[in-house]
Structure 1
Amino acid sequence: MSSHMTESIDLRELDLFAFCRKGGSAAGEVAVRDLPRILAETAAQAPASAADEVFAYTATGFSREEASEPGAPVAQRLFLDLSINGHVWLNCQRCLEVYAEPVATSMRFEVFASDAAADSAPMDDDEIDAIVGSKRFSLLELIEDEVLLALPAAPKHSVCPEVHESLVTGADGEVEPEAAPEEEEKRPSPFAALAGLKTRH
């Protein structure tokens, strides 16, 4: 059974150091309307209810007592696990229609007391990112940061309902034909080249 007790926290002003030291845990929802940078990314043709939709989050803090090297004093390292689930309404770049891009992201952060400490820390684990904590830390901004990082550079449906006519027609309005299969077959196969090398004995 987990030792973490879910608590109510102030997302805009959280003592992140205390939260991590005591092994705090929180879960809740954040409305899109409270995330201005996400609103800015939201498609203009998104449903009217888009700003009222929410991201569900869980945040868990914990600490570890570790020595930086044998014989060195034991230091306390603070960590924060953050998971976010929801979606953002974006414009598909292939069919130009609005669609809901799912967001499901989880990240572990090591919490430092200053920028200098974070910059000098040997971050040898790609699964852990460094953040600078404070006694008035905005978890809301961190949630917004992680949602933005999770968004695709080129938003697209996994399968478009239809392709927009501006993307498939030529200058004369005629639909451009797709590449014929035989044209693709003319491309040299890397396996054929390998076979050729093997026969040159």
Structure 2
Amino acid sequence: MSSNMTQPIDLRELDLFAFCRKGSSATGQVAVRDLPRILAETAAQAPASAPDEVFTYTAAGSAHEEATEPGAPMAQRLFLELAVNGQVWLDCQRCLAAYAEPVATSMRFEVFSSEEAADAAPMDDDALDAIAGSKRFSLLELIEDEVLLALPTAPKHAVCPTVHESLVTGADGEVEPEAAPEEEEKRPSPFAALAGLKTRH
């Protein structure tokens, strides 16, 4: 039986076990300024309003009864679904200008009673992760974790508005193009050439 929560939940101290058992759900917003690790990733040249921008989250808990063995009592499994949307201002590694990287992530977690149980749980499904629950669970930290995991390892504009001077080569102002993966694959390997010489003797 589900119970949609109309009152704001305490993101820093949530009884995650009760939240999942009741089939509760919640939607809200979190400001970037309340996420210190996201602030640390934010570009220095980001707009002054960047800390006041928000992430929208949706959290939904559920509980499922499953038989572990024939004749054994039913075991309850708890799950949490979390979706987060927003943006983070990052430094483009190509032009070094700040840009807004969109974030849209969703994940499903199985909630365990302890860290040891979560670590020992076999997770064969990439769409399912294991977390340790608590009666004072920080959903805020989990939201921050998911945003960090969604950030690119090499942030770049899709199309840079300007070209940084460090990328300009020659007096004509030409920009040295990045080698396409297909072109790199077509380049002959020096080791292949050596192997060819050896076969001729």
Pair in the same fold by TM > 0.5: yes
Of residues 115-124 and 27-36 in structure 1, the stretch that sits farther from structure 2 once superposed is 115-124
Q: Give the distance between the partners of 2:176 and 2:38, measured in 1 at CA.
A: 38
Distance 1:139 1:174, change over 3 A: same
TM-score normalised according to structure 2 size: 0.83
Q: Secondary structure at the match of 1:125?
A: coil
In structure 2, distance between residues paired with 1:166 and 1:10? 47
Residue 122 (structure 1) shift: 2.1
Q: Which string of whole-angstrom CA distances, capped at 9 and with x for unpartnered residues, describes residues 43-102 of structure 1?
A: 000000000000000000000001224343310000000000000000100111110000
2:66 is paired with a residue whose SS is strand
Please report how far the alpha carbon of residue 174 of structure 1 lies from its aligned counterpart in structure 2 after TM superposition. Answer: 5.8
Distance in 1 between the 2:176 and 2:138 partners?
Answer: 53
| Equivalent residue, structure 1, for 2:5 | 6
The AA in structure 2 aligned to 1:131 is I
What amino acid is the match of 1:159?
A: V
Aligned equivalent of 2:106 = 106
Higher alpha-carbon deviation: 13-22 or 69-78:
69-78
Q: Tell me the distance in 1 between the aligned counterparts of 2:23 and 2:175.
A: 60
RMSD after superposition:
2.3
Map 1:172-183 to 2 at 5 A: 175=174, 178=177
Residue number in structure 2 paired with 1:199: none
Consecutive unaligned residues in structure 1, runs of 5 or more: 190-201
Give me the identity figure in percent. Answer: 75
Rounded Cα–Cα distance in structure 1 between residues aligned with 2:41 and 2:27: 25
Partner of residue 160, structure 1: 160
Q: Trace 1:181-192 onto structure 2 (pairs within 5 A).
A: 187=186
Which range moved further: 102-111 or 71-80? 71-80
Report how many aligned residue pairs link the two structures.
Answer: 182
Separation (CA, whole Å) in 2 of partners of 1:76 and 1:144: 28
The Cα shift of 1:178 comes to 4.8
Q: 1:178 to 1:40 in 2, by over 3 A?
A: closer
Deviations 1:94-122 (A, max 9, x none): 11111000000000000000112112222
Are the aligned partners of 2:20 and 2:60 in contact in 1 as well (CA < 8 Å)? yes
Aligned partners of 2:108 and 2:128 also within 8 Å: yes
Q: Equivalent residue of 2:70, what SS?
A: coil
2:118 maps to 1:132: no
Larger deviation, residues 85-94 vs 71-80: 71-80
Cα distance, 1:160 vs structure 2: 1.1
1:18 partner SS: helix
What's the offset of the Cα at 1:177? Answer: 5.5
Matches of 1:188 and 1:89, distance apart in 2: 37
Question: Residue 141 of structure 2: SS of its match in structure 1?
Answer: helix
Aligned 1:31-110 pairs, distance under 5 A: 31-110=31-110
Q: Which residue of 1 aligns with 2:118?
A: 118
What is the rounded CA distance, in whole Å, between the counterparts of 1:173 and 1:154 in structure 2? Answer: 28
Output the TM-score relative to the length of structure 1. Answer: 0.83
Question: Where do 5+ consecutive residues of structure 2 fail to align?
Answer: 189-201
Contact kept, 8 Å, 2:2 with 2:22, in 1: the verdict is no
Distance change in 2, residues 1:65/1:101 (3 Å): same
Pair 156,124 (structure 1): closer, same or farther in 2 beyond 3 Å = same
